[in-house]
Chains A and B, each alone.
Chain A
Amino acid sequence: MTERATGFWERFQQIPRYYIYLLLAAVVIWQILFPMPLPIAPSRATQGVYDAIAAVPDDKLILISTDWDASTQAETGPQTEALIHACLQNHKRFAIMNLQPPMGVKLANDIAERVAAEYGAEYGVDWCNWGYKYGFDNVLIAMAKNIPKTIGDDFYGDPVTDLPMMKGVQDISSIGLVIEITGLAAITEYWIGLIQGVYGTPFASAYTAVMAPGYYPFLDSDQMKGMLVGAKGAAEMEVLVHRPARATVIMNVQSWAHVLIIVLIIVGNLGYLFARTRGRQRA
């Protein structure tokens, strides 16, 4: 059982967690309702994703693997939206697919429908949804050799071969860029181990902030063209596509929440240092 704090500095180390939650909620609500915007500058990793999209040849598709679900939607949702804006602004055709969890393909489809309507992009011509395909490495190995046969039906249950944009799409050579959006570790390894590393298909990614640090070595070794890191990466992409939206708000609020956390860390450590000094003096 924790010993009850008696001294002034000891109390700083034992602030009840409810107060911290309330403070954090207050800062978040304050900044959502009365924002004080801070500048957002795109990083090299985000710029790399944008440049990779712009560099895709017109006769090739961009494949967006939306392997996320509602639990990470605050980060991966805005990433998906900003990336679709980037595809459509650069007049690139794209296909959505999903390896796991299946919720991502529906959520991404809703985003794609909404964004495509803004640009007048048509389903089957400018973009399509290959749906949820179960089987991880089996799907990727088969898809590399024969996309129409592996995918079969699209998200709506119609054969993908009926879609105008799928005419001429045979194997992985028809894909100009794979973008993996995920909150799950290990799916990237499938894409790099079975597609990028074997066929040289350009690869970029968008991760939740939790898992992103583990994938910087892939960026350093040029196995990835670029990487969006959590809501920060999404906000940077929103800057590049000139569409400030949800992630821009999240990052602004985030910055102020981080200020609070830094202050709390300093207060806690000051409490610890002063309490230790006082304890030594008493001894």
Chain B
Amino acid sequence: MNPETAILWAAAVATLGVYTILYRENPISRLFEHIFVGLSAGYLIVFIWAQNLEGKWWNPMIHERKWYWVFAPIIGLLFYFIYSRRFLWLARLVMGLFFGTAAGYFFREFFPIYSPQVYACFKPLRADATIGWADVILHNWLFAIILLTVMSYFFFSIPHEGRFGRTLGRSALLGRWFLMIAFGAMFGNTVMARISLFIGRVQFLLNEWLGSFLPWFAQRGP
């Protein structure tokens, strides 16, 4: 058996093995789950070494005599003092460094990510030379109504009593309906994604695996 055929058969057996979960929890699907997790972890370690650590850390430290790189893993290993009551403060030092860096990055990223979306909420509500009434009503008015009603749904400070409160309550109810429609669309997309993955596996089993020894199946492929 050549390596290509062996890989094909291994992939087919693994696919069928994992799908046995559809019948019920069983040792075969568990076995293939563990194999997948182990393979992924091993692959990650090799790739982190080969594509990152070797070129960025090991080679400069060993071959270019940049000796100070030796401190990088020492600092990293300080994390393990989380298991020592006496030296926990050393772990906290590096954790604090990471928290501070992450907070700084997040602060830096926040405005470029969200401010354009806030600007984009301000849409013209009257027709002009660039946009007709049909577009204004179908897109911009609808957008504005959904935006305001959904925001009112998340406004919890005023009880839905009295004249203003009841109006707010009706708006919040409408907002909830819009949210439900959005969740429905998201759920539809999730169904589409899951079925796509299933179709991808069935395509593999029929066109590639069965097709490798029954050419008729290969001919039915894309």
Task: State the A residues within 8 Å of B (CB).
Answer: 18, 21, 24-25, 28-29, 32-34, 69, 71-75, 77, 101-103, 105, 131-135, 137, 152-153, 155, 157, 189-190, 192-194, 196-198, 208-210, 212-214, 217-218, 220-223, 229-232, 244-246, 248-250, 253-254, 257-258, 261
Contacts and interface: CB of A to CB of B under 8 A. Distances in A.
Nearest to B182: A213
Contacts of A222: 116, 120
Contact of A209 (B52, B119, B196, B201): B196
Contacts, number: 154
A217 B120 CA distance: 9
B109 A194 contact: yes
Contact of B195 (A18, A192, A254): A254
Interface in B7-64: 22-23, 40, 43-44, 47-48, 50-52, 55-56
B117 to A, nearest CB: 5
23 contacts: A24-B198, A28-B202, A29-B202, A32-B199, A72-B197, A102-B51, A132-B48, A152-B56, A189-B109, A193-B109, A197-B112, A209-B192, A209-B193, A220-B120, A221-B117, A248-B222, A249-B203, A249-B221, A249-B222, A253-B199, A254-B195, A257-B199, A258-B192
Q: Is the interface of B mostly helix, strand, loop or mixed?
A: helix
A254 B117 contact: no
Contact of B51 (A25, A155, A192, A229): A155
Given A152-B56, A189-B113, A213 B47 contact: no
Nearest to B123: A220
A103 B40 contact: yes
Nearest to A131: B51
Given A197-B112, A198-B112, A217 B199 contact: no
A32 B112 contact: no
8 cross-chain pairs, A with B, having the tightest CB-CB distances, nearest first: A197-B112, A74-B200, A193-B109, A221-B120, A209-B193, A102-B47, A231-B196, A210-B193
Nearest to A136: B105
Given A28-B202, A245-B222, 17 more contacts: A28-B199, A33-B206, A74-B197, A74-B199, A75-B200, A105-B47, A193-B110, A197-B109, A197-B113, A209-B190, A210-B194, A230-B193, A246-B203, A249-B199, A249-B221, A250-B200, A258-B192
Interface core residue of A28, A210, A232, A244 (most chain B CB under 10 Å): A210
B185 A208 contact: no
B207 interface: yes
A71 to B, nearest CB: 8
B192 A230 contact: yes
Contacts of A244: 222
Nearest to A153: B55
A231 B200 CA distance: 10
B190 to A, nearest CB: 5
B203 to A, nearest CB: 6
A198 B43 CA distance: 34
B167 interface: no
